[in-house]
Amino acid sequence: MNPAQTTPQNTSQAAPRRRVDARRNHDRVFAAALEVFGQLGLQGTVPQVAERADVGKATVYRSYPTKEDLVEAVVQHRLAELDRATEPTMARVDTAHAFSTYVILLFENLARDRLLSEAFAEGRSTAHIASLVDRLVGLMEAAKTAGLVRADASALDLRVVLCGMCLQLVNLAVRDPALWRRYAELTLQALRP
């Protein structure tokens, strides 16, 4: 038998090995993307991710056909982390005060997460950022009902004020959580009756 020919047994052994290698490469790419976008924000590139993962660009594109797909996956992961980080506090807060509590927690977390803060500041129309904004609007509506937010505040007002504050903090390269918290409080003051 020619050694170059693959027997059915060799094929079945090679396929699981390729799947294991592909999974390992996928995990390395994602871990590298978390690091690259965490450090560089949206300015991070696929070649930088590939280099950090020690794979070729084609390996990155096999899992994520575009940079936007990769950014979307990282944003989704970061938002899941944000949910886990804020959940214990939010569980203890009454409905009326949930909006102000969440805005403060959000800004404190955005101070530490360059990619998420840039995606939020730019108002990127990803499904995940949109769901975060929807959550904030729902919390704002409950706060309005309780008289803690001005009655005429709209979803657009919220987006402009929140994303505007974020955009300026990102543009000024502010990373100090205390300053982000201060601007979260100013955001809340802008929306009070």
Every domain of the chain and the residues it spans: 8-65, 70-191
pLDDT computed for residue 17 by the predictor:
62
**Percent helix, percent strand, percent coil in the chain, to nearest 5:** 80, 0, 20
pLDDT computed for residue 7 by the predictor:
47
- CATH class of residue range 70-191: mainly alpha
Which CATH number applies to 8-65? Answer: 1.10.10.60
- The per-residue pLDDT string of the chain (193 residues; one tens digit each, 9 = 90 and over) reads 444 444 445 545 555 665 788 889 999 999 999 999 988 988 999 999 999 999 999 999 999 999 999 999 999 999 999 999 999 999 999 998 999 999 999 999 999 888 888 888 876 556 778 888 889 999 999 999 999 999 999 999 998 999 889 989 999 989 899 999 999 999 999 999 9
Rounded Cα–Cα distance for residues 1 and 133 (Å): 64
